[in-house]
Amino acid sequence: MNVEYIFFGFIGFIILGFIIFSHFFTEKAIVKRKLKKAPLKKIKNFRNGQTARIVGQVVPVNEALKAPLSGRACAEYHVEVQQKKSQGKSSKWVKVIDDQKSIPFLIKEGDHFAIIEASEKRSYIVKDAKFDSGFLNDASPKLKQYLKNHGHDDENWLGMNKSFKYHEGILEPGEKIAVYGEGRWVTAQELELPEAFGKILVMQSGMDALYISDDPDTLQFEKKKESY
């Protein structure tokens, strides 16, 4: 068999494997698939112990966080930083920082509210802020400080810029998100929130993890799955 055919067949197999992995087995793919397939319910129609998906707007309970790279107000952020590293004659991008933080927040749908209280959570937040630094492209003071805070330098021992890619996603106040989990009703007082909120649906991890995303694909109906 021609060696060239073997080589290109091998390369094609690797590319196909990467596509399949990206489509089915990454955290993004798993979370989106779970949410898109889950039945969608209005918060007010949720019953104790029921498992389904809700969609509503983010309402921080207290003062909002500030996203570390963009400075945007948010209830949760997720930052991933990749560094270009050499291996012999080749190089590849390696994730060196995976930074996620959140504060308590409500999910508002009409006049009704839910809150997340999960022991196990899987999330995918769309990374809509992107930065980079490297050769002839100095990192900004904010990026330099962020790297330093996480144990990385933006320059090598020769004083040359290292190459980084920075991706940041947030859940910002007023943004629509989807949440899938098991629900139970409590009073606002039980959560130490103002009585005016009335009863609040607590979304928690049941037999499965709790899933959350702001990806537009996860906010839609699937007509066969409607349970409004």
At 77, is the secondary structure helix, strand, or coil?
A: strand
Strand order in the sheet with 76-87: 90-102, 76-87, 164-171, 129-133
- The rounded distance, in Å, linking the Cα atoms of 205 and 122 is 10
pTM of the model: 0.83
At 28, is the secondary structure helix, strand, or coil?
A: helix
- The rounded distance, in Å, linking the Cα atoms of 126 and 213 is 8
- Write the burial class of residue 95 (CB in 10 Å: 0-12 exposed, 13-18 middle, 19+ buried): exposed
Q: Provide the pLDDT for residue 86.
A: 87
Q: Provide the pLDDT for residue 12.
A: 42
Q: Provide the pLDDT for residue 179.
A: 97
- Residues 202, 208, 210, 213, Cα dihedral to 10°: -140
Domain that includes residue 90, residue range:
3-225
pLDDT along the chain (228 residues), means of 10: 50 41 70 95 96 97 96 97 90 96 96 92 96 96 97 94 98 97 96 94 92 95 51
At 175, is the secondary structure helix, strand, or coil?
A: coil
